[in-house]
Amino acid sequence: MNQKNASSINKITINEVAELAGVSTATVSRVLSDKGLVSDELRTKVKKAIEQSNYRPNRAARNLRAGTVQRIGAIFSDISNPFFTSMLAGIEGALKEAGYVLIIGNTNEDSKVEQQQFEAFIDEGVAGIILASSIQSLSQYKVLIESGVPLIAIDRVIKGLKVDTVAINNFDAAKDATQYLLSLGHKKIAYIGGPEHISTAKLRADGYRRAMKEVGGYPSIVVDGGFKQSGGFKAVEQLFETTDRPSAILVGNNVMTLGALEAIHKFGVKIPGDIALVGFDDMPWATSLEPPLTVVAQPTYEMGEIAAKLLLDRIKLPNDPIKEVLLETKLIIRESCGGLIKTGEVN
């Protein structure tokens, strides 16, 4: 489904359900709320009309009219990841100040689970959804588009869907980190990334590739670690099981960095004497490592806070122009890359 089709979908109204069932809108409302006396015959007619029309009641609007607490849904791929936890803290802080309650969904990078959560959150009557999506096809957003529930994309851009977005400059972040490694004299630099149907993973891989291409003559080595700790471990195993190992590795997220570190220690490889390492995300443990880890730091709390505020604005002003916020990262240089400058042991 392209954006033109998606934006032109007709939303079924309660009046249309009432007309289809041959009853009043008040009767439909009583059936939906399960309040008031409705005969079995009319109840059956209304339920049949709802099923035939695929009508989804706007529970968020009913909650607002009733003066009950409004809820916002946040759907992330891995809420156990401190990267997303920090975002959630930013979201919750902004929503709490505005009087909203946050409910959270976790998909584990499963697009089917993500679709199920769309339906569950819509049925719960959320006023809006903040989403770090793992979905590959626009058709999978059909139920969300039809519901009319406002959507904010965070961290990951949803290609072809015109929605407010908050992300970082992933391309430049990876390019700058790679250029830093190149400036130290490294020629064989590997990049461990995620599935490239996810915008974050593709842009980081493309930034790495661009930096390698610009120097010319150096190979681009990209290994998919699936944005998982186990994937980071397996990626390093794959890189180290060859005789021509890289002299530096850039890792595309924090949990893959943990896996990469585990594998590096397994092989008895020294950082930075044998290999230089740069990770994404400045986790609390990054400075506790020996040596401390050079990282691409992302403004995760700020991303969550901005996304929540954009969503609240979108709820109030649904016809405002779409906003795309792109935040910058910071390369924090620590000792995990510095040893090779002193020894000159660059391959």
Q: How many CB atoms within 10 Å of residue 196? A: 15
Contacts of 86 (CB under 8 A, 6+ apart): 300, 301, 304
First to last CA, the chain: 49
Q: What is the pLDDT of residues 16-72, one digit of tens each?
A: 888 888 887 667 767 776 655 678 888 898 888 888 887 766 655 555 444 455 889
C-alpha–C-alpha distance, residues 281 and 329, integer Å: 9
170-298+330-343: CATH homologous superfamily? Response regulator (3.40.50.2300)
Q: Given this model, what pLDDT does residue 108 score?
A: 87
Query: pLDDT for 120-144, tens place per residue?
Result: 888 778 889 999 988 878 888 888 8
166, 325 in Cβ contact below 8 A? yes
Task: In whole angstroms, give the CA distance from residue 111 to residue 133.
Answer: 8
DSSP-derived 3-state class of residue 144: helix
Report how far residue 136's alpha carbon sits from residue 109's, in angstroms, rounded to the nearest whole number.
11
Measured CA to CA, the distance from residue 3 to residue 10 in angstroms comes to 14
Q: Whose CA is closest to 115, among 91, 137, 92?
A: 137
Residue 290's SS3 state is: coil
Number of other CB atoms surrounding residue 201 within 10 Å: 21
Task: Report residue 149's pLDDT band, with 50, 70 and 90 as the boundaries.
Answer: confident
Phi, psi of 341 (to 5 degrees): -65, -40
Contact of 151 with 175, CB cutoff 8 Å: no
Question: What digits encode the pLDDT tens for the residues 79-95?
Answer: 889 999 999 999 999 99
Residue 270 contacts by C-beta under 8 Å, 6 or more apart in sequence?
Answer: none
Non-local CB neighbours of 272 within 8 Å, separated by 6+ positions: 291, 335, 336, 337, 338, 339, 340
Q: How confident is the model at residue 345 (pLDDT cuts 50, 70, 90)?
A: very low
> Hey, how many other C-beta atoms are within 10 angstroms of the C-beta on 43?
16
Tokens of 127: 């006023």
Q: Are strands 294-297 and 151-154 parallel, antiparallel or unpaired?
A: unpaired
Contact predicate 95/152, CB 8 Å: no
Percent residues over pLDDT 70 in the chain: 87
For residue 34, the model assigns a pLDDT of: 66
Q: Which pLDDT score is estimated for 3? A: 38
Cβ atoms of residues 208 and 174 within 8 Å: yes
Q: Which fold has domain 1-55?
A: 434 Repressor (Amino-terminal Domain) (1.10.260)
CA pair distance 244, 251, nearest whole angstrom: 19
CB 207 within 8 A of CB 174: yes
Looking only at the bridges linking them, the beta strands covering 294-297 and 324-327 are: unpaired
Question: Is residue 278 a contact partner of residue 304, using CB atoms and an 8 Å limit?
Answer: no
Residue 293: CA count within 13 A, CB half-sphere:
25
**pLDDT for 12 beyond 80:** no
Distance between CA 128 and CA 66 in Å, rounded?
A: 18
Domain ranges (residues) in the chain: 1-55, 170-298+330-343
- What local confidence, expressed as pLDDT, does residue 347 receive? 40
Entry pTM: 0.78
